[in-house]
Chains A and B, each alone.
Chain A
Amino acid sequence: MKTVLVVDDALFMRHSIKLALEKNGFKVVGEATNGLEAAEKYAELFPDLVTMDITMPDYDGIEGVKLIKQINANAKIIMISAMGYESFVMDAIMAGAAGFLVKPFKEEKIVEVLKAI
């Protein structure tokens, strides 16, 4: 079973993603609410996959990606972005994010994306 770290400052989003993933055979092993916490949790849990929100307080998702990539250059990170955040998505991709999803998304989509990477 693939393990996932879910990073989002909104409890609601974390919960939605967790529900969707756990219904579909993923195991959410940790949650984090900003980029730094994400990296810390990543180092601790070494999950197979990470879903990462972009706008978060203090350390945003881009920084999160960069930090995690420092820990493991092969980390598989999926960005969760709102509409209209092209430049952030671009930064994330350049920092090494494996893909991205645009909110709002359907349950199948996130599962599909995570299964693909």
Chain B
Amino acid sequence: MESLLDIFVLENSQLIEQLEQTILCTEKSIGIDGAVDEIFRIMHTLKGSASMMMYDNIASLAHSMEDLFSHIRANGPDNLDNSRICDLVLSSIDFLKNEIGKLENEQAADGDSFPYIQLIEEYLNHLQAGESELDAPESIYAPAPPALDGGVFSTPLPEQLPRYRALVFFSPGCEMENMRAFGIVHRIKDLVIIEDYIPSDIAANSSSSELIKQNGFDLVFSCSLPAEEIRNLFIKDPFVDSLELSVLEEEYPETAMTSEEEPHIPPVEERDCSVECKEAGAGSGLHLVNNRGNHISVNLQKLDLLMDLVGELVISQAMISLNPDMSLAAQLDGFQKAARQHSKIINELQDIVMSIRMVPLDMTFQKMHRIVRDMNKKLGKNVVLEISGQDTEVDKNIIDHLSDPLMHLIRNAIDHGIESPEERARLGKPAEARVRLEAKNESGDVYILVSDDGAGLDREKILARARERGLLSTKDRDLSDADIYSCILRPGFSTCDQVSEFSGRGVGMDVVASNIEGVGGAVVVSSTPGQGTTVSLKIPLTLAIINGMQVRVGQSIYIIPITSIRESLKIRKENILHDPEGRELIMLRGQCYPVIRLYQHFRIKSDQKDLTQGIIIIAENDSRSVCLFVDALLGEQQIVVKALPRYLGKIKGIGGCTLLGTGQASLILDVAGLFEQPA
């Protein structure tokens, strides 16, 4: 079972994230008042949980926030300084996030929330001072009408009943003593005739609990029950610390009696509730509850484990069906059928497990609103973030790697892409600048586009810098725009001290690129001067299982992802050409392809050196194609992608590794990497 701490961290970080989104949404549209209830409720929950865990700094911040918002709730959101209050909440959110982050990393939540509390209280005081004197400044929780308070029960007493006095003390630290007293009154009110109690304002005045703490709860009543039963009535509440029960002498000699009048309080509330019940039963609330019941949250580690197991299952299935010992069995019809069924079920299982791991990009995208808001404030720009395709789903493991790069891209877009308001005005561009964040599915990959309507990239400046940094070879006359723009993704293109001087981008773009490549994706930059820049991230749907073609090169077996293969074929001598530099090319149906002999590329021994004897695989990536020369095709198989051991670092042209049916490790080619110049 997960620990309480895990649950605390998980639940509350979700709540806070949700809160942040709400604030960012409402701040722009309807103002904070749309979010008051939600903020209040979340802070209330957080306070409760944090105080149970004794995270006092978190609990007290949540508490003061709760106070602030309950005040706003009670007094209406008029005259609120929307921006100030959003700042207050957001800065508190940052603090809370940070503290919860510490807990998540098994550190102590030791941050000092006092400065935040002070700010909140200051503002609360300011609000309270601002309210007209007619409003009672205190008492955030409007007390209910004092239906049961002293005096109400001054019904005449039946003379024959013995009268009692009870003095009750509650156990220290039980809190809300007045409500405990109220509970007692409520519990006994139908069984005894209550004359009076002190303090008398237990229901209406919460400060009466202080009096009860000091002097006890003093109650006079009469009833026919034996003393022992009365005692039991009182100590039903385990918080009753001591009870002094004494029989009173006849003190009030005259009590006029009309015996028909039963001392009975009509159960008003019960009548109310029957009405509400019907509404509740018929209401749409039922729907909501049922929906919630259909979801459970699962520990990600368990999912990872499940994924691994399914991966092993896929491998072991291949081990069975491709096992040489099976070649005999393979001729048997029954075995064939059973094996097909088996592999079909495993495929389905795999699909389901994969789909469990798919998470919509929504949350990741929503986070960006905060970045835009903060950047706007900091830089004095007016940028609107437009989001689309946030329902697109990506494997959970990949999504975790997208946040930072996206944040970076959006910061860059606002900081360097979008012009200053003055500049935009001069250019006649709309004052409201746009940054778009868009996701879409395309042929087995997910594309995420970050685009802005800013100044665009400065081709010449990038070219100049790239030359200066030695990132381009001299013969760059026939470089395409894409080639030039992609320079900004290279490490060492730009360093921090050039941020201000350089009008384009490039700040940390290499980090973005390496993050995205790390999950098997690719980054492409395009730009139109004066109209903006688009950075598109191509992300694989999943890292885990792919269809791969096994190929043999010399003694080695490599896997080429099926998605990268356009076709495979044998060629004739006349297909082979050489360019002036002596490089091999293959001409097929009027198109010319460069050739990579894998045995050369990977520097391994192979006896098959004749292009016409081996197999040519036309592999493509982002509209670029290349012919890969291999000895033989061994067949298509589903494979479980594993990362290369960390020790080996990143190897150009290798995307990962896997285990073959034989148990041998094999490398998976990364076609995009093969296009790059070998080291």
Direct contact of A and B (CB under 8 A): yes
A positions within 8 Å CB-CB of B: 9-13, 15-16, 19, 33-37, 39-40, 55, 57-59, 63, 66-67, 69-70, 81-91, 93-95, 98-100, 102-105, 109, 112-113, 115-117
| Given A70-B274, A83-B176, A88-B141, residue A55 in contact with residue B7 (CB < 8 A) | no
Query: Are A99 and B186 in touch, CB under 8 angstroms?
Result: no
Chain A hits for B273, CB < 8 A = 66-67, 69-70, 95
Query: Are A95 and B47 in touch, CB under 8 angstroms?
Result: no
B52 proximal to A (CB < 8 A)? yes
Query: Are A84 and B141 in touch, CB under 8 angstroms?
Result: yes
Given contacts A13-B45, A66-B276, A113-B239, 16 further A-B pairs with CB under 8 A are A9-B41, A10-B49, A12-B49, A13-B52, A36-B280, A37-B289, A59-B280, A63-B280, A67-B273, A82-B48, A88-B141, A89-B182, A90-B182, A94-B269, A98-B236, A102-B175
B298 proximal to A (CB < 8 A)? no
| Given A90-B179, A100-B183, residue A82 in contact with residue B49 (CB < 8 A) | no
Jot down 10 A-B pairs with beta carbons below 8 A, ordered by A. A59-B280, A84-B140, A85-B141, A87-B142, A91-B144, A93-B186, A99-B236, A103-B52, A109-B238, A116-B236
Chain B hits for A11, CB < 8 A = 7, 10-11
Instruction: Provide the main secondary structure of the chain A interface.
Output: helix
Query: Are A99 and B183 in touch, CB under 8 angstroms?
Result: yes
Query: Are A10 and B269 in touch, CB under 8 angstroms?
Result: no
Query: Are B238 and A15 in touch, CB under 8 angstroms?
Result: no
Chain B hits for A59, CB < 8 A = 280, 285
B174 proximal to A (CB < 8 A)? yes
B292 proximal to A (CB < 8 A)? yes
Complex partner residue of B238 from A90, A95, A103, A116, CB under 8 angstroms = A116
Query: Are B4 and A90 in touch, CB under 8 angstroms?
Result: no
Query: Are B285 and A100 in touch, CB under 8 angstroms?
Result: no
Query: Are B280 and A113 in touch, CB under 8 angstroms?
Result: no
| Given A59-B280, A104-B48, residue A86 in contact with residue B4 (CB < 8 A) | no
Chain A hits for B141, CB < 8 A = 84-88
B positions within 8 Å CB-CB of A: 4, 7-8, 10-12, 41, 44-45, 47-49, 51-52, 54, 59, 140-144, 147-148, 174-176, 178-180, 182-183, 186, 203, 206, 236-239, 269-270, 272-274, 276-277, 280, 283, 285-286, 288-289, 292-293
Query: Are B52 and A58 in touch, CB under 8 angstroms?
Result: no
Query: Are A9 and B45 in touch, CB under 8 angstroms?
Result: yes
Q: How far is the CA of A90 from the CA of B149 in the complex (A)?
A: 12
Q: How far is the CA of A74 from the CA of B573 in the complex (A)?
A: 93
Q: How far is the CA of A37 from the CA of B276 in the complex (A)?
A: 15
Q: Most chain-A Cβ atoms within 10 A of its Cβ — which of B4, B48, B285, B286? A: B48
CB distance from B108 to the nearest CB of A (A): 18
Query: Are B12 and A12 in touch, CB under 8 angstroms?
Result: yes
Chain A hits for B148, CB < 8 A = 94
Chain B hits for A95, CB < 8 A = 269, 273
Closest 6 CB pairs of A and B: A66-B273, A102-B175, A104-B51, A12-B49, A116-B238, A37-B289
Q: How far is the CA of A13 from the CA of B12 in the complex (A)?
A: 11
Q: How far is the CA of A87 from the CA of B283 in the complex (A)?
A: 26
Q: Most chain-A Cβ atoms within 10 A of its Cβ — which of B59, B175, B272? A: B175
Query: Are A86 and B176 in touch, CB under 8 angstroms?
Result: yes
In the complex formed, the residue of B with least CB distance to A54 is B44
In the complex formed, the residue of B with least CB distance to A113 is B238
| Given A102-B176, A103-B51, residue A36 in contact with residue B285 (CB < 8 A) | yes
Q: How far is the CA of A116 from the CA of B183 in the complex (A)?
A: 14
Q: Most chain-A Cβ atoms within 10 A of its Cβ — which of B12, B179, B283? A: B179
Chain A hits for B175, CB < 8 A = 83, 102
Query: Are B52 and A100 in touch, CB under 8 angstroms?
Result: no
Chain B hits for A94, CB < 8 A = 147-148, 186, 269
In the complex formed, the residue of B with least CB distance to A108 is B238
In the complex formed, the residue of B with least CB distance to A81 is B176
Chain A hits for B203, CB < 8 A = 86, 90
CB distance from A19 to the nearest CB of B (A): 7
In the complex formed, the residue of A with least CB distance to B186 is A93
Chain B hits for A112, CB < 8 A = 238
In the complex formed, the residue of A with least CB distance to B273 is A66
CB distance from A38 to the nearest CB of B (A): 10
Query: Are B144 and A12 in touch, CB under 8 angstroms?
Result: no
Chain B hits for A116, CB < 8 A = 236-238
Query: Are A13 and B48 in touch, CB under 8 angstroms?
Result: yes
